[in-house]
């Protein structure tokens, strides 16, 4: 039996197994096996056969946004509308056969937009979230707060700082044994599920924000538009009628957690024409590294004007956290 057949058999077994106290260990073991087989499926084969066609796009700009969706939902139209890049668009499926990059200029930032082809050829029969989850991408969720460290001996050291309702020491041990791990330290700092614990063991999951964009809303009723617009992490637009595109850009800015930092030279006015684009939570040290790699070593102090300070200007050190549209003047030793 091949890996695909094993995966299908385990998925069927999980689907027909009722979830209760009596089956939680069995389900946990099945999920561990499923994650292991999926990981094997994604590993490159060692055979010297011909490789399938893929694509690689050089990263550019201050952030990247990937357009992922079913065929013919308007991804190429959106790319052509928001950037100067022409991506072939048509009313039939699978017009885009490779990755097409474009750049959105917004609030002084260059945001790279990637128009990806339909996820799979049978995308119309699959849920996009399930497809992304299968390859280890977790949407709109943070990494589980679980400390996990394999050891050379000593057995399993299991503990938790909160009451657990989904996992137990026996279940954790069963899952670890499936991965041939018999000695480890495990500390739960939140009430995590077996799936989240498996993600921590595997260690290659990617956690990223996701914005669900519903296009062609001009073709449905106002009641349906209102229902979609009130869903979590959702924006409704119409590329054909250019509706709500400004709000989509503002939402992208917020989800990317970008901020603008302006610099100021001593005795001169701030340069508001050339912003430094950083991620939310960036410190003065991060700004120094962005300006020049040696600047942090020559740093004496900085003067900051803006919402991150108690008064303007405020003298700050390298650890000061910057906020959107702050102005900074750096003084060297």
Domain boundary among 179, 207, 235: 207
In a domain, 299, yes or no: yes
Domain boundary among 207, 231, 246: 207
Predicted pLDDT at 164: 92
Residues 202, 263 share a domain:
no
In a domain, 26, yes or no: yes
In a domain, 113, yes or no: no
pTM beyond cutoff 0.75 = yes
In a domain, 117, yes or no: no
Q: Which helix (H) or strand (E) holds 128?
A: helix 128-134
Its domain, for residue 288, covers 258-332
Residues 38, 144 share a domain:
yes
In a domain, 12, yes or no: yes
* CATH code at position 326: 3.10.20.30
Cβ atoms of 263 and 329 closer than 8 Å:
yes
Distance of CA 137 to the CA centre of its chain: 7
Which tens digits make up the pLDDT trace of 186-224? 999 999 999 999 999 988 899 999 999 999 899 999 999
Residues 35, 144 share a domain:
yes
Predicted pLDDT at 108: 87
Count of structural domains within the chain: 2
In a domain, 67, yes or no: no
Residues 32, 150 share a domain:
yes
Residues 272, 144 share a domain:
no
Residues in the chain, total: 333
Residues sharing a CB contact under 8 Å with residue 120, sequence separation 6 or more, in sequence order: 126, 131
In a domain, 61, yes or no: no
Residues 263, 202 share a domain:
no
Residues 325, 178 share a domain:
no
Parts of the chain with a pLDDT under 70: 1, 42-58, 84-98, 118-125
Which tens digits make up the pLDDT trace of 260-280? 999 999 889 998 888 999 999
Residues 266, 146 share a domain:
no
* CA 284/CA 269 separation, integer angstroms: 20
Predicted pLDDT at 48: 45
Residues 273, 145 share a domain:
no
Domain boundary among 164, 192, 207: 207
Residues 297, 169 share a domain:
no
Cross-strand pairs, 185: 149, 157
Residues 304, 178 share a domain:
no
In a domain, 11, yes or no: yes
Residues 145, 294 share a domain:
no
Cross-strand pairs, 262: 327
Predicted pLDDT at 330: 93
């Amino acid at each position: 039996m091949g890996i695909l057949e094993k995966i299908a058999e385990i998925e069927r077994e999980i689907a027909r197994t009722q979830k209760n106290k009596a089956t939680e260990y069995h389900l946990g073991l099945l999920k561990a096996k499923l994650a292991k087989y999926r990981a094997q499926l994604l590993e490159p084969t060692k055979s010297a056969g011909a490789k399938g066609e893929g694509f690689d796009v050089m990263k550019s700009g201050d952030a990247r946004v990937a357009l992922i969706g079913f065929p013919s939902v308007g991804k190429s139209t959106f790319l052509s509308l928001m950037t100067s890049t022409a991506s072939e668009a048509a009313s039939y499926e699978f017009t885009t056969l490779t990755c097409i990059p474009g750049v959105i200029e917004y609030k002084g930032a260059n945001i790279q937009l990637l128009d990806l082809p339909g996820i799979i050829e049978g995308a119309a029969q699959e849920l996009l979230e399930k497809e992304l989850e299968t390859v280890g991408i977790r949407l709109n969720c943070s990494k589980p707060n679980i400390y996990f460290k394999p050891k050379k001996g000593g057995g399993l050291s299991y503990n938790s700082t909160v009451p657990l309702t989904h996992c137990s020491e026996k279940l954790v041990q069963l899952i670890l044994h499936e991965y041939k791990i018999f000695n480890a330290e495990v500390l739960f700092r939140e009430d995590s599920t077996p799936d989240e614990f498996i993600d921590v063991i595997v260690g290659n999951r990617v956690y990223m924000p996701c914005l669900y964009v519903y296009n062609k809303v001009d073709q449905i009723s106002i009641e349906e538009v209102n229902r979609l617009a009130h869903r979590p992490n959702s924006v409704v637009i119409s590329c054909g009628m250019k509706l709500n595109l400004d709000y989509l850009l503002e939402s992208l800015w917020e989800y990317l957690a970008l901020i603008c930092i302006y610099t100021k030279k001593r005795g001169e006015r701030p340069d508001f024409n050339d912003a430094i684009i950083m991620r939310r939570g960036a410190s003065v040290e991060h700004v120094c590294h962005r300006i020049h790699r040696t600047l942090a070593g020559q740093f004496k102090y900085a003067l900051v004007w803006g919402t991150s300070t108690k008064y303007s200007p405020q003298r700050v050190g390298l650890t000061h956290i910057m906020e959107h549209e702050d102005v900074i003047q750096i003084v060297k030793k």
